[in-house]
Structure formats: structure tokens, C-alpha cells
Amino acid sequence: MLAFSEGVVDDDAVGQQLTHFRVAEEFEHSINKLLALDETSNAESEAIVEDLITKLNFYQEQPHLLDPHLEVIVRPIVLNVRQRILRSPSNANNIQDVNRTRLELYFRYLYILCKVRGSKTIVQFFTHEVSDLEPFTSFYLSHATNSTWETRYICLIWLSLIYIIPFDLAKVDSEARLENRGKIPIVEKLLDRAKSCLLSSGREQSAAAILISRMLSRKDISEIYLSDYIIWTATKLKDSNDVFLVTGVLSSLCELCAYAPREMLLNPKYNISSTLLSTRILETFKHHAVARKLFSKLVQRVGLTLLRPRSMPRFLRGTRSLEAYLSTVESADRQSEKFYADQDQDDNAEVPEEIEVVVDILLTSLCDKDTIVRWSAAKGLARICQRLPAVFADEIIQSVLALFHDNLIALNDEALDIASVSDQTWHGACLALAEMIRRGSMSVANLGESMPFILRALKFDQKKGSHSIGTHVRDAACYVCWCLARAYDKSDLTPFTSQLSTNLVVVSCYDRDINIRRAASAAYQEHVGRLGLFPHGIQIVQIADYFAVGNRARSFEQVSVEIAQYEEYTHSLVEHLVNVSSVHWDKQMRQLSARTLGLLTAIDPQVAKRHLPRLSRLTKGTDLNSLHGSLLAVGEISLTLSRSQLSHPPIDLIKEIAAIVTGLDNYILDTFGSENIREASCHLVDCLSRSAWPKELFKNSLNDWRQLIKTSLIRKEESVRKCAVTALQTLVESHSISSEDVGELISMTELSRPAVERRGAVSALGVLPYAQLREWMQPALDALIASSRYRTKLEENDAEAKRNAIEAIIVIIKHLNSQTREVIPLEIFHMLTDHLLEVMDDYSVDQRGDVGSWSREAAMKAMLSIVQIVWTQEDSQQNDNTYVPDAFLCNMVGALLKQGVERIDRTRQCAGEALSALLLVHKESEGAAFYPNIPHRPDLAAVMPRNINWQSPAEVFSKMVPLLAIGQYRTQLLTGLIISAGGLTEALVRHSSVSLLNYIASLSSSTSPSLETILMCILDIFQSHSKKDRVSIPVLEVLGMLFENGTMSRWEDSERLDQMFRLTVLEGTKSKDPRKLGAVIKVLTGLGSLSDPNLTRKCTRQLLAYLCHPYPRIRSITADQLYFYFSTIDDNEGIMEAETWLLNTNW
């Protein structure tokens, strides 16, 4: 069941709401054009219809916008279809005078209209004259079987309208007038065909059900065919196991009971009630929800047929219309007294015996496993109660309330244990209560008995394995609360005001699911708007509106905290956090609960006084969820409480809290799921270390805290290590750290240690206070540099350890800030900056891909931090840039430019942001701004706007390629561009290669840079990365592209070309990579096509060798390239023979 809040749309859809049918004129023009086409223009007509359907589907969520235009967009097509059908011969087996394709297009268009706006609305525009009956029936009987399902659907819907004309069909049917056998042949044929459609699994099944109900509801047809049809349906329901037939039959019976006159259905001649109620659909089709739902629907309609309708609800004192309610509120009390005194005259009427069977079936369906069955049964019970005398209706309500008691255990404190109850039963019972309340069938006297169950259902949550169930029950309970506001007066709900208001506020703030929070908020708003009973209702509605509760974190940490300022709600909010959210199965809920408790403690410190001892006791339990939540909550409450001037807990309680970590069993800290306990324990240590309580109260627990942190640093879970590092930082700041511990951390970074241990140790080294531990600064930096260096051995080259080490360097620089130059010697600092530049060449790869990018991204951030912190603190007047020399700045920019044009979007984004921030770094002295001495800084700033999307190849490469004109950055930038242009990702290769090739093609010997300069730079990159596939393959790919576009033909440096040949041959030697060999062959073909005969001979000889390669694919590529090469040479007998040989050989 969806949240029922009315008139509210999702946040994401607010900006997409339409206000009118924007294409009305265009739509009308297309329809006129369609109708004007001749019969042979089927392709054009199909295109027009498809366009119309596309436009209609756009309005499927707001179909009411079509209403003012339906006459224009429906009627012309309907009249055209009618005209075509009237022209068709009644006895033809195939459509002759009618263009079949065109008709089917029209029927499809009409079906889409029915799908978008609803068949009940669209059918109003169909024709229904007496003259239509025989032609349309004949058309359907003759042509529908071999036509599309849309045609059959529209024909059946149309016929259902035609067959309610107020004329005797025996007189309209020409065959009936001729035969005069007491039968109506046309009806008989159509009924038989419609019954066969009930077997269908498509849309025509529902249309056939409607047609049958309309036909059999006529007096002249029912007298002849209804009895036989009831017998036929009873037989099928009893004997058939075909679920499609059964659902079709049930649909037709539901439509019949809804449309046919009550007097007709009660005629003993047909015996409808006893015939249909005796079927055992619920047992036979227990695995088919639709069949059971339709049976429940049929049963309720049979029951409604047996009972006389009431003119008005029995107990409804509110009103659905808020305007009407407000206009009559002054006289409500006076009218209600008369209303209750004036009992229905029908309360003493006799109730048919069949009603007991109906109610029994519907009560059983309330407990069904499928929501649609329970929902149908709930509505059915409410409607039947609406027609029953008060005494009998009250019995049904008591039966519904009894469903709540199944397997329910009442605890000593009047709480209800729902661990063993059925969520399906509670959901069905809540839906039934809501419908009964909404329809005015439940008296005020029953409210007191039902309210405990309603309030418990608002927080229904049953743990099932690693998750829970109960969302649908809580949603239904919100629906019940919403109905209460619309059905009862203030005086009726006054006794329950406090319970309802606080529970709805709690659910709207603290429920896990967004639709439940919004449903509870809507129910609360309904009560405030209609009754005004809830304290501070207007203010809370403004705080906890539909959009505010849409985000879970905001609901916990902002909305609930604002509401907690009203004391009527504070206690309930805190109680729920402590008793429910803190022990919730969802980890995020426990975390949010703890943070919120900390915020609420700041508002009301008495929260700690009431709940801190209990939470402290929970930390001694063994349930991991409760333990985790209580540890987090104790930490947050303690931190907030320690900073409060209003309340302080007893010293013994503070010591007890400090000893919580000591009391944790080793099994709890190491068992399955212990990572959550370690995170929470480290968080508790962090909070206590930051607290304002006297530090001497913690001295007996410090060793246990340190041991916890030490053992958590070597855990494999990254989240545990992060929590341990945070706890270590605050613990060291408040209680210092010994030299032995620092030395142990450094020793844990040795390459001989396990990778997991090194990951935690390097992170821990980053948070130590080196301003006080200056003697450890150099050893720590040496350890971090060694840990982040690229290693050839796989077990030593751990990606996470390298990344964490560089991130630790960033933390150190930021923490030292202005003391950086005092604490870190110049030589060590230069060693650090040189190392960071080396890290920019870390391209380590494992099964996860380019994990070296993690280190490169961290190094980029580290270098930026160095410039932002260290460079800005140096003396501008003396230009004493010893710590950050110009050479480092130039190399840093080159490295950033290279990373800014490489393959990984995330890495490009990081490099681009670092480069943009670097260009903005400056310091002021005597009113003047000084910028780092970055070569060509204005040129760099000009091509990189702040709003550039670095993850978009289309934006980045076109702006970055012109920077190749700057000599200082050319090699690094060109390397990055080549790697991207020779990559595998289609979009990346397309944008990078086009930008690069177009730039190179635009160069000449007279430009700056010249073509020769760029080509020699590419060759130098090729040589420096020889046999390194990460770069050499992209270089070969780019060289092949340059040969293809003719750029290489303008380079006449034979010495350099010969060097290219040697490097290319070297790359192909002993290689088994098909991609690499293919690129080698393309380059050799390009070199061979140049004018140097010596080079051509060597390339041809090498290509002929590849024709004998073991791989068929390589032989085939070589043959194709050789054929392309030979085709560019002047024809002679030898060349032609070679081309023929290459073509005819199966490579």
C-alpha cells in the first residue's frame, strides 16, 4: 500500500508538472492530416499515429489535462471508424472495402487514449445509435479473431456501450424477426464470442467482462440467457483449473453484480448468491493473487446485493469536505445529538443467512498473503458494515479487532509483544478499520478498544533475519489515523489526543521509510487542519512538512530537534530513540539515533539523567545491535552532557561509562559482526576524550582504550580503522602518547608486516601531534614515504597502504600549518615534495583496475596543501621560496596537466580541481597580491574556466590541447593526451583523438610549436616508454591515426623515421597481444607508404613476416594492410598478382 497523502507529489517531479495540453493545436492538425490521407498512404499514417501516441503517453501521469480537448482528439477518429465499419459487408470473412491497416491504426490510437485517460471517460465519445448495433456486432464477429488485440478491445468496449440502448433487441435483430424462436441470434453469437474472450490473458478479457455484464443486465436478455450464464460460470469456477478463465469469469460476475439492478440479482430464478458463494476459489487458487482478489470482490458485491443500501453513514460525524466541515462546525454538537438519537429504521430488518458466509470469507481474506486481496476484503467488509444493522456491524468490528489478538502477548507494563503475530493479519485488520472509520461504520465506543492496536501498528516492526518487515502495517496504521480526523468530532478524539499526537510525530520523524514518515506527517496535518486538537499543531506542521521529512537524516537531526523544543513531545521522542531506534536492526538508524540523542541532550540535559544509566547497562549485553546502539548513544550523550552547564552526572556514573570499554568481552570484539562494536567503542573513546569531564576520572581505563585502538588499527575493515584513527587523535590530544607507542606505530609500517596492519599504522602516524613530538617527525615521514613508494613485489605494493600514507602526509601538513617549516627540516621537506612527484607516476594495477590512481589523487591533494599552507607563509619580499621552489611548482603543474587529460574521469576531476585551486593561490603583502611563480600562469588560467566539467571529455580535451604550445608542460601533457587517444573507451577516444589530431594537423614547419617539434616529442615519449604497454600501445595507435590522416607524410626526417621503425619492430617482438600487434602493423604499413625506398623495403619485409604469424587475426590484419598499401602503388604485373593473392587467400 502506498502512502495515502493526498495532493502531494514527489520532490523530483515538482518541476515536471504540466499545466495544460501544450500540443493541442499540433495534435488537432495531425489528426486532420491523418484523416485526409488516401488509403494507400499507410506508412505516413503509421508515422502520424506513432507520433500522436508518443505525445499522449507524455500525459499519462496527468491525464485530466486532456479533458478539455477530448472531443477534438477522440470524436473525429470515432466517426471515421464508424463510417468504415458501416461500409463493410456484414457477411465478409475478410475486410474488403475497409483498409485493414488503417483501421487497426485507429483502433490502436483509441486504445492508447483509453490507457491514458481511462476507458470510462473515452467511451463517452463513442457513438451508440440503434443503427450501429448490427453492423458493429457483425464486424466484430467476422473480423476480430484475425485482427490485433487493440482492435478486439475497442470493439468490445464500444459494443458494451451500444448494447445498453433502450430498445428491444428482439425487434432490432433482423435474424430474430425472421426466426422468431424466442432467441436473439445476434446476442447469442456475441455472448459466445465474449465468453471465449474470458479465456484471454490480455486486455480484451476485461472488455469482454464489461460487455457481458452490460448485456446480461438488460431485462430482455437476462430473461433468456442470465440463468444459463450463471450455471456456466458456476461450472467453470468449480471444475476449471485455468487461472485465466477463472479470472475472466470472476471479472464478468463482478461487473454484473455492480451494474445489474438489485431486483434482478435477487430473483430466486437465478439463485446467484448460493451458487457463487459455494465455490472454493480461495483454496483452489491459493497461489494466484488476482483470482483470490476478484473472488473477494465478487463475494462483497454479492453481499451488498443481499443488503439494502443506507442513505447515509451511521456514525460519521466529520465530513470529507473541509470547507463543509468548517461551515457547519458551530452547529455540529447540536446536530450530532439529533443524529445519534435518530436511529435507522432498518436496524431491525432481517439479515439474510448468506451474509454470514460473505463476512466469513472476507475476514479470511483479510489475512491473505497478498496485499491486493486484503485491500479488497477490507473495502468489502466496510461496505457491508455500512448496510448492516448496528448490532451486526458491531459484531464484525469486534471480529476484526479479534484479529489483532492472534498470537499477541501482553507484557507486564501493558506493552504488546508482536514478535509472533502475523504482519499480514495486522495489515488487513488496519485496512479494515480504516475503511470502516472512513465510511462511518465504527462507533465512538469502539475507539477505546481499537486505539492501543492502532498505536502499536504505527511502530510495527518484526525482525526477520538481517532485515525486518512491517512497513505496510505502519503505512496502514497511518491511514487509520488519517481517517480518524475525517470521521469524528473533537469531543470523540479528545481522550486520545496526547497518544495520537506524540505517536504521529515520532513516526513522522523517526521511521526508517520515507513513505511512512510522509504518511504520518500527512495524518498529523489532517488532524491539525480539521480538529485543531494537537498541541502546537500549526508550528509542527510547518516544521515536519512533506518535504522536510523526505530526508531521513534531516528528519532525525533537524526536524525532531526543533519539535523537541515543545515539552509535550520531548519525552516521547527521546523514549523512542532510546527504546527503538538505538537498538534498531539497521546500522544507519542506530547511528542517527545516537547523534540525535546528543542533540536532544543539549536541549534537555535531563535526558541523560533519565536514560544514561539504562544505556550504560545495555553496553553489558550480548545482543550486537543493542550493544552497538547503546555504545554510540552513551558516547554522544556523554559528550554533550559534559559541555552542559545545567546538569552533571554522578562521579560513579562517569567512571562506569569510562570502564565500558574495559568490560567488553574479547569475544564480542572479535566475533562475526564485531566491526560495528569496534567502531562504536572507538567512537565512545573519541567522545570521552573530547568531553569536558575531569581527565583523572579516566586514568584507570586509558590502557584499555589504547589497547582497543591498537587492535582496531590492524582490522581489515576500513571503517574500523578510520574510527580507531579518530579515537587515537583525540586520545593523544587529551592524554598524550608515549615514545614507545610512536615507535611501535612506525615499526608497524615495515614492509614485512601484513598489508592490513600497514594501512592502519600509516593512518595513525598522520594524526600524532608532531609539534610536541618533533624528534619523531623525520622517522614518521621516512616511514610514510617508504610506505607510499611503488614496489615491484605484489605483496609490498598495497594500494590502500600507499594511499593512506599520502593522506597521512596531508593531515600532518594541515595540522602543523604555520609550524610546518619549524618542525620539518628543509632536506626532509624537499625529499617529501620529490616523492610526491614520483607518486604521480604510480600506475599500479590489480584486479580492481588502476589502483595507482588512488595514490595519484592523494598526491595531488598533498601537493596542493603544501602550496596553500607552506608557500603562502614564506616571505614575499625576500622571495625566499626555499621550501616550495619554482622547479617543484613547474613539475607539479605538468603532472596535474597530465592527470587532467588521462582516462579516468574521477582522476581528471581531482587534477582539474587541484590545478584550478593552485592558480588561485596567492598571498598579500603591503596591499599587493603575490602569486606562485608558475610558468605561463596567465595562459593556464585563460583556458581553464572555473565551471569546466572535468569529467566530460567533450569539454576537457578541446580546452587542454592548445596548452601543447607551452614547452615546459608539453611532454607530460602530450603523454596524457596520447594515453587517452589510444585508449578503449569510445567517448574518451573520440573526443581526445579528434582534438589531438586536429591540432597536430593544423601545424606546419613555420608554426610554434612546429609539426616536427610535436612529432619528435611523440617519438621521445615512445622511446622513453618502450615495452611499457600502458603508454607504448596508445603511442602506436596515435601514430597509426597520424598515418591515416596524412600528417606523417609531411615529416621527412629519415633518421627519426628509421628510429620509429626500430621502436615499432621492438614493440612487436615476442608480443602476443593482438591489439598491440595490430597497432604495430598499422604503423609499419604507414612507414612503408612513405617515399624512403630503404624504409619501405624494411617495412615490407617485416609485414611479410607477420603474414606467417601464428594468430589468424594477425595474419588477416596484415593482409588487409598490405592490400591497402599495394593499392596506393602504381599498378604493374607483380603488384596486381600480389593483390589477387592477398584477396584470394583464406587467412
pLDDT band at 55 (very low <50, low <70, confident <90, very high): very high
CB 788 within 8 A of CB 802: yes
Phi, psi of 469 (to 5 degrees): -125, 155
Whether the predicted pLDDT of 170 surpasses 80: no
Helix 1074-1088 to helix 1093-1106 angle (10° resolution) is 150
Backbone angles phi, psi at 1146, to 5 degrees: -85, 95
Res. 865: pLDDT tops 90: yes
Neighbours of 1082 (CB within 10 A): 22
CA nearest to 898, candidates 1080, 1062, 1025, 1041: 1025
**DSSP assignment string, 265-303:** HT-TTT-HHHHHHT--HHHHTTT-HHHHHHHHHHHHHHH
Residue 1131: per-residue pLDDT: 61
Q: Does 82 or 337 have the greater pLDDT score? A: 82
**Among 839, 965, 841, residue whose Cα is nearest residue 902:** 841
Whether the pLDDT of residue 214 is over 70: the answer is yes
Size (the chain), residues: 1147
For residues 187 and 189, what is the distance between their CA atoms, to the nearest angstrom?
5
CA dist., res. 794 & res. 755, Å (int): 11
Least-confidence region, from 553-562, 1020-1029, 1045-1054: 1045-1054
Predicted local confidence at residue 948, as pLDDT:
85
pLDDT of residue 986: 86
Partners of 463 in the β-ladder: 468
Query: pTM for this one?
Result: 0.84
The amino acid that residue 559 corresponds to is: V
* DSSP tag of 488: S
Q: Determine the pLDDT at residue 86.
A: 86
- The predicted pLDDT at position 590 comes to 95
Confidence of residue 315 (pLDDT cuts 50, 70, 90): low
Alpha-carbon gap, residue 1126 to 1139, rounded angstroms: 7
764 is written with which cell numbers? 595513525
Please choose, from the candidates 303, 439, 425, 447, the residue with its C-alpha nearest in 3D space to the C-alpha of residue 361: 303
CA dist 963 and 967 (Å) reads 9
Residue 97: the pLDDT is 41
Distance CA(235)–CA(279), nearest Å, equals 9
Q: Are 190 and 144 in contact (CB under 8 A)?
A: no
Q: Are 1084 and 1103 in contact (CB under 8 A)?
A: yes
Pairwise CA distance, residues 372 & 290, whole Å: 8
Q: How many whole angstroms separate alpha carbon 971 and alpha carbon 827?
A: 28
Cell of 217: 443486465
Give the Cβ contact number of residue 851 at 10 Å. Answer: 19
Rounded to an integer, the average pLDDT of 423-428 is: 95
pLDDT of residue 542: 95
pLDDT at 11: 43
Predicted local confidence at residue 316, as pLDDT: 57
pLDDT(241) > 70: yes
Q: What is the mean pLDDT of residues 70-81?
A: 93
Mean pLDDT over each residue of the chain, to the nearest integer: 87
pLDDT over threshold 50, residue 8: no
The x, y and z cell numbers of residue 661, run together, are 570499554
In this prediction, residue 52 has a pLDDT band, given cuts at 50, 70 and 90, of very high
Identify the H or E element spanning 930: strand 928-930
Cα 643 from Cα 655, distance rounded (Å): 17
Residue 564: per-residue pLDDT: 94
Helix ranges (H only) for 314-353 are: 322-328, 332-341
pLDDT of residue 311: 61
Contacts of 1067 (CB under 8 A, 6+ apart): 1026, 1027, 1032, 1036, 1076, 1080
Residue 49 has pLDDT above 90, yes or no: yes
Report residue 794 as a C-alpha cell.
605484489
pLDDT of residue 271: 80
Supply the pLDDT for residue 1134. Answer: 66
Q: In whole angstroms, give the CA distance from residue 969 to residue 895.
A: 8
Question: Residue 600: what residue type?
Answer: L
Q: Which amino acid belongs to residue 989? A: V
Burial letters 325-351, b for 16+ CB under 10 A, else e:
beeeeeebeeeeeebeeeeeeeeeeee
Which is more confidently placed, 621 or 732?
Answer: 732
Which residue did the predictor score with more confidence, 1130 or 405? 405
> Which residue, among 499, 508, 511, 582, has the nearest Cα to 545 in the 3D structure?
508
Q: How confident is the model at residue 313 (pLDDT cuts 50, 70, 90)?
A: low
Residue 413 confidence (pLDDT) = 60
Instruction: Dump the DSSP string for 428-483.
Output: HHHHHHHHHHHTT-S-GGGHHHHHHHHHHHTT--EEETTEEE-HHHHHHHHHHHHH
Amino acid 319: pLDDT: 57
Residue 331's pLDDT is what?
Answer: 47
Whether the bond into 166 is cis, omega within 30 of 0: no
- pLDDT (0 to 100) of residue 748: 94
Give the HSE-up count for residue 893: Cα atoms under 13 Å, Cβ half-sphere: 25
Place of cell 477463472: 246
Is residue 277 pLDDT above 50, yes or no? yes
Asked whether the predicted pLDDT for residue 714 surpasses 60, the reply is yes
pLDDT tens per residue, range 931-962: 888 999 988 988 877 778 888 898 899 999 99
On whether the CB atoms of residues 899 and 928 are closer than 8 A, the answer is: no
For cell 596486381, the residue is 1136
Report residue 7's pLDDT band, with 50, 70 and 90 as the boundaries: very low
For the ranges 47-56, 180-189, 721-730, which has the lowest average pLDDT?
180-189
